[in-house]
């Protein structure tokens, strides 16, 4: 994040009325520089303490830098010889526009609301977000209902996080963190599954039991994977809710870098049958999506489960991170600046 520490260095004291006389005799022109002098002071004071960033309370990238450059340019006009009134007047307008641009770029907190059959977030290309040896996925989820739109066949589950190669067939692989909807008993049962290859049983599941019960409540959910032990652990609000052993190691179709990632829905239907696009998605809000290149411990999950991450450079095993706490355009880049998500049909709502 960039914090403005811009300072002004003027040879002209702003408290004085500065007049330049250009020419001589009856044709002399008086140039008034005081207004621009004062506007430079105003713009510099306005920048004080403001920071560029991607989180609420910050300002969009480059807006502060752009105004700093404009201030330097305006100072150059004051130092120029000869000086023209029209240049001074134009510089004042440009500085005013820069101030207004920064005001309009302030980032306010908004959370994404997913609607069954309508909403999706998916990586725009095949990217391997998780290594094959061990990883952890986690997020915060607030269900509005346990309804969804069924996926292919009788797939009546809702996907919180999912890759697009988790289905029966030659490309079976990847992972899915999902729960049973009202159309499947017991509703609210949470599970983490991985694709283990093209032969039966195709995928293997670790079950955490019924965990998603209370509506309009925030849940922190994390799932770990360890290939050396073939084990997974599922945590809900920092408490171990389920653990188990998979029938085989997770596989990926690593062509073009690996499978896509879907948030709030299952992207595998996009390529299996476009008619089933945006199926098996959640009805609710998802924020704070993190993908780690290691199996997090219980204490690591608990220490960070309630707050958005800051100073992410300190987390060397953090592969990708979407806070999803502000509407930051489309695609939405993750906090590492490496990965994007294409967004469709998502409503951005006030946090509550």
**Res 24 pLDDT > 60:** no
* pTM, rounded to two decimals: 0.77
What CATH number does residue 61 fall under?
A: 1.20.1270.90
Q: Can you give the pLDDT at residue 52?
A: 84
Summarised one tens digit per residue, pLDDT across range 71-112 is: 999 999 998 888 889 999 999 999 999 999 888 888 889 999
Domain boundary among 104, 122, 137: 104
Instruction: For 197-216, give the DSSP string.
Output: -SSTT-EEEEEEEE---STT
User: Are 222 and 296 spatial neighbours (Cβ–Cβ below 8 Å)?
Assistant: yes
Q: Which of these, 58, 111, 107, 145, lies nearest to 287 by C-alpha position?
A: 111
Three-state DSSP class for residue 332: strand
Task: Give the pLDDT mean for 54-74.
Answer: 87
What CATH number does residue 291 fall under?
A: 2.60.120.200
Task: Give the pLDDT mean for 247-275.
Answer: 72
**Domain match, 199 and 335 both:** yes
In three-state form (DSSP H/G/I as H, E/B as E, the rest C), the secondary structure along 249-287 is CCCCCCHHHCCCEEECCCCHHHHHCHHHCCCCECCEEEE
Its domain, for residue 94, covers: 2-104
Q: Rounded to an integer, what distance in angstroms lies between the CA atom of residue 61 and that of residue 54?
A: 8
**Domain match, 226 and 95 both:** no
Out of 23-32, 105-114, 225-234, 237-246, least confident range = 23-32
Q: Can you give the pLDDT at residue 13?
A: 41
Q: Can you give the pLDDT at residue 105?
A: 81
Number of structural domains the chain divides into: 2
Q: Which of these, 169, 216, 215, 160, lies nearest to 190 by C-alpha position?
A: 160
Summarised one tens digit per residue, pLDDT across range 115-155 is: 988 888 888 665 556 677 899 999 999 999 998 776 554 45
**Domain match, 71 and 92 both:** yes
Token digits for 99? Answer: 């101030």
What contacts 100, CB < 8 A, 6 or more positions away?
none
User: Are 283 and 114 spatial neighbours (Cβ–Cβ below 8 Å)?
Assistant: yes
Q: Residue 166 phi/psi, 5° resolution?
A: -95, 80
Three-state DSSP class for residue 342: strand
**Res 254 pLDDT > 90:** no
Average pLDDT over all residues of the chain? 84
**Domain match, 36 and 69 both:** yes
């Amino acid at each position: 994040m960039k914090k403005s520490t811009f300072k002004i260095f003027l040879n002209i004291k702003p408290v004085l009325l500065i007049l330049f006389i250009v020419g001589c005799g009856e044709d002399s022109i008086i140039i008034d520089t005081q207004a621009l002098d004062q506007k430079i002071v105003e713009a510099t004071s306005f920048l004080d303490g403001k920071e560029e960033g991607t989180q609420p309370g910050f300002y969009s990238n480059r807006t502060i830098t752009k105004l700093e450059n404009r201030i330097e340019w305006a100072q150059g006009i004051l130092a120029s010889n000869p000086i023209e009134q029209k240049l001074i007047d134009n510089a004042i307008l440009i500085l005013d526009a820069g101030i207004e641009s920064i005001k309009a770029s302030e980032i306010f907190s908004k959370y994404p609301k997913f609607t069954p059959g309508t909403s999706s977030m998916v990586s725009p290309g095949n990217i391997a977000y998780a290594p094959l040896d061990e990883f952890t996925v986690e997020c915060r989820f607030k269900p509005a209902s346990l309804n969804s739109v069924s996926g292919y066949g009788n797939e009546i589950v809702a996907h919180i996080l999912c890759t697009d190669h988790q289905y029966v067939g030659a490309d079976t692989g990847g992972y899915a963190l999902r729960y049973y909807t009202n159309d499947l008993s017991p509703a609210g049962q949470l599970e983490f599954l991985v694709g283990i290859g093209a032969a039966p049983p195709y995928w293997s599941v670790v079950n955490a039991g019924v965990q998603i019960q209370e509506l309009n409540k925030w849940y922190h959910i994390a799932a770990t994977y360890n290939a050396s032990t073939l084990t997974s652990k599922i945590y809900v609000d920092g408490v171990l809710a389920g653990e188990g052993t998979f029938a085989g190691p997770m596989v990926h179709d690593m062509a073009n870098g690996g499978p896509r990632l879907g948030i709030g829905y299952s992207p595998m239907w996009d390529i299996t049958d476009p008619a089933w696009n945006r199926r098996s998605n959640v009805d609710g809000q998802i924020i704070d999506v993190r993908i780690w290149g290691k199996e997090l411990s219980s204490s690591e999950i608990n220490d960070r489960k309630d707050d958005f991450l800051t100073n992410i450079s300190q987390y060397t095993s953090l592969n990708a991170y979407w806070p999803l706490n502000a509407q930051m355009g489309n695609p939405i880049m993750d906090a590492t600046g490496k990965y994007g998500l294409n967004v469709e049909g998502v409503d951005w709502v006030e946090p509550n």
